Structure 1
Amino acid sequence: MTASANIAQPSASEQNPSDVAQASASLIGRVLLSAIFILSGFSKLAAPAMMVGYISSVGLPLPQLALALAIVVEIGGGLALIAGYRTRTVAAVLAVFSVFTALAFHNALGDQNQFIHFFKNIAMAGGLLQVVAFGAGRFSLDARRR
């Protein structure tokens, strides 16, 4: 065992206030990023036939399977991101999902609404890549696993 393994981690009351603020901001950021995925996943559950039709309309194969995969990614990924569970991997999957859905569903950039949705997805991917780069922070299951 190394000497550093015997050093106890400071309790929350012993933490520097800026460390607590940073950990809190990380948690709040994960919650805010997750909200759109969780809400979107539940909206898909509420209207599966409509979503299968929408997925079919853009020419993706196996729309029922695509819908099931989207629901799992959005709800499962969103909840895992909030919890900070395997955060870097989950954030990477959600970032790829966001870019894919921007390209597949919001590629009519001449339509202002589609243009906004396209770049919203790209911006979400950017935020998620920040999570990939910097991790979940102290208030996460990942931090407890160390």
Structure 2
Amino acid sequence: MNNANTTTLPLISRLLMATIFVFSGLGKIAAPAATIGYIGAMGLPFPTLGLLGAIVIEVGGGLLLVAGLQTRATALVLAGFSLVTGLIFHHAIGDQNQLIHLLKNIAMAGGLLQIAAYGAGSLSLDARRGGTLVGRALP
């Protein structure tokens, strides 16, 4: 592998994947009532608790991805979150917009699974701590 594959590309990948989570979480912080209403409209219990959980996962997970800290575990959690939320909130696939959102969530999960499989790369806190590097197998 060349240097860009082991340094720059994993960093760019983490930044791109983190962007949607951080922005989504900040949007929930800015307008909590809309998210609480949406969660409630889906028939889920405890919408306020759901909002808090989503904010923690999205903002916290996004920032952990940016830093490259606990990257593999974070990517696995975010992949699961993407699949579950896609199936719960975007299951009305007869609506093209909902189908696109579901497919987006599935694609994000795929990208996150790649990050989980190959690690954060050398430009990460994981690498500084002697943790995961590109190409190392999962423990």
Q: State TM-score, norm by structure 1.
A: 0.87
Q: Distance in 2 between matches of 1:131 and 1:60?
A: 30
RMSD across aligned C-alpha pairs, in angstroms? Answer: 1.0
Task: Determine if the alignment matches structure 1 residue 126 to structure 2 residue 110.
Answer: yes
Q: Distance in 2 between matches of 1:20 and 1:70?
A: 33
Q: Alignment partner for residue 80 of structure 1, among 39, 64, 70?
A: 64
Pick the structure with greater CA Rg: 1
Matched positions, count: 130
Question: Identity rate of aligned residues, in percent?
Answer: 57
Residue 54 of structure 2: which of 70, 77, 84 is its match? 70
Deviating above 3 A after TM superposition, structure 1's stretches of 4 or more consecutive aligned residues are none
Aligned to 2:135: none
Structure 1: state its 5+ residue gaps.
1-15
TM-score when normalising by structure 2: 0.91
Deviations 1:75-133 (A, max 9, x none): 00000001000000000000000001101100000000000000000000000000010
Show structure 2 runs of 5+ residues with no match: 131-139
Structure 2 equivalent of residue 143 of structure 1: 127
Are 1:42 and 2:26 matched, yes or no? yes
Partner of 1:27: 11
Instruction: Determine the C-alpha separation between the residues in 2 that align with 1:130 and 1:20.
Output: 17
Cα distance in 2 for residues equivalent to 1:20 and 1:142: 18
